[in-house]
Amino acid sequence: MCYSISQAKRTAYLTALKEGASAEELNRLYDEWQDAQKDKSEIDTESPMAFVNGFEHPKLYTLIKAVELKATRFTWGLIPEWTKDKTQAMEIRNKTLNARGESLFEKASFKDAAMDKRCLIFVDGFFEYYHYKGKTFPNFIQNKEKDKPLVFGGLWSEWADHAAGEVYQSASIVTTRANELMTSIHNNPKANGARMPLILEPKNFDQWLTANNQSEVEELIKPLPEGKLKAHTVKRLVGKNGVGDSKEATKEFIYPDLNEQGTLF
């Protein structure tokens, strides 16, 4: 599953577009993201955003398409439009950080958004834990091409809290079965099979944003082909000795315990 990511503040927008986008469009989208980032509800605008925990419900760099492409930021943890009140909303969003791709059109929380509210979510990479001899070891997974972000397929929703007069815009990351690399990492014995985020390639961006029927959406929900990702172990992220949201979060760290079994990757 995907519950923690790393986000770029300045490089996300570089691949946020279909190929051939104009310089004017690039500049407009970048400005939109910069404006969205000034949202005063941000907990810590000085955060490196190197390690972002989904359960803290950070804002994700996101692209949607209506008449034109629009850059915005949605809170991680989708709140469906039919949510009754804020108490229910706060409960639901902890359960909707991820949306299982194979059942998008069956789950009440996701089926409406799956039909017509899909988005692209931009990250530097994401974290997954490898299990070995009763211990867990965090790994950072990123694009094999240097300095290129990963683009996740996502869903978004807009919920109005009429009691408070507020509108919440939120999103969920779609997941799919794991490819070979992610199968070797996501080996949690308690998990029901290895999973990974739905990572889209540029040729599929437009279809994900504009598809108007279920089959066109479902044909994109598949693992990223092999050879496009790279991974390495990193220091403990949480707990007493965890590096947390710091630049250390994505740097490679070798665990002596894992040397017993040879190189993981």
Residue 32's pLDDT band (cuts 50, 70, 90): low
pLDDT of residue 224: 97
Residue 30's pLDDT band (cuts 50, 70, 90): low
In percent, the amount of the chain with pLDDT more than 70 equals: 81
Q: What are phi and psi of 183, to 5 degrees?
A: -65, -35
pLDDT of residue 8: 56
Segment 36-47, tens digit of pLDDT = 555 544 444 445
More confident residue, 252 or 245: 252
Please give the mean pLDDT across all residues of the chain.
Answer: 86
Residue 19, both tokens? 């190929």
pLDDT of residue 3: 62
**In angstroms, rounded to a whole number, what is the distance separating the alpha carbons of residues 163 and 165?**
6
Segment 190-244, tens digit of pLDDT = 888 899 999 999 889 889 999 999 999 999 999 999 999 999 999 999 998 899 9
pLDDT of residue 69: 79
**In angstroms, rounded to a whole number, what is the distance separating the alpha carbons of residues 41 and 255?**
38
**In angstroms, rounded to a whole number, what is the distance separating the alpha carbons of residues 181 and 141?**
10
pLDDT of residue 25: 65
Q: Would you say residue 11 has pLDDT above 60?
A: no
**In angstroms, rounded to a whole number, what is the distance separating the alpha carbons of residues 206 and 93?**
27
Q: Would you say residue 26 has pLDDT above 80?
A: no
**In angstroms, rounded to a whole number, what is the distance separating the alpha carbons of residues 71 and 15?**
12
Residue 189, both tokens? 């014995």
pLDDT of residue 20: 47
Segment 79-99, tens digit of pLDDT = 999 999 999 999 999 999 999
**Which residues, 6+ apart, have CB-to-CB distance to 239 below 8 Å?**
none
Q: Which residues are registered as beta bridge partners of 176?
A: 196
Nearest of 104, 126, 124 to residue 114 by alpha carbon: 104
pLDDT of residue 40: 43
Residue 122 near residue 153, CB atoms below 8 Å: no
Residue 71's pLDDT band (cuts 50, 70, 90): confident
Q: What's the CATH class of domain 4-259? A: alpha beta
Q: Would you say residue 165 has pLDDT above 60?
A: yes
**In angstroms, rounded to a whole number, what is the distance separating the alpha carbons of residues 5 and 1?**
11
Residue 199, both tokens? 């990572």
In percent, the amount of the chain with pLDDT more than 90 equals: 62
More confident residue, 63 or 25: 63
Nearest of 201, 187, 166, 197 to residue 89 by alpha carbon: 166
Predicted TM-score (pTM) above 0.75: yes
**In angstroms, rounded to a whole number, what is the distance separating the alpha carbons of residues 74 and 100?**
19
Residue 102, both tokens? 């194979």
Residue identified by tokens 């706060």 is 90
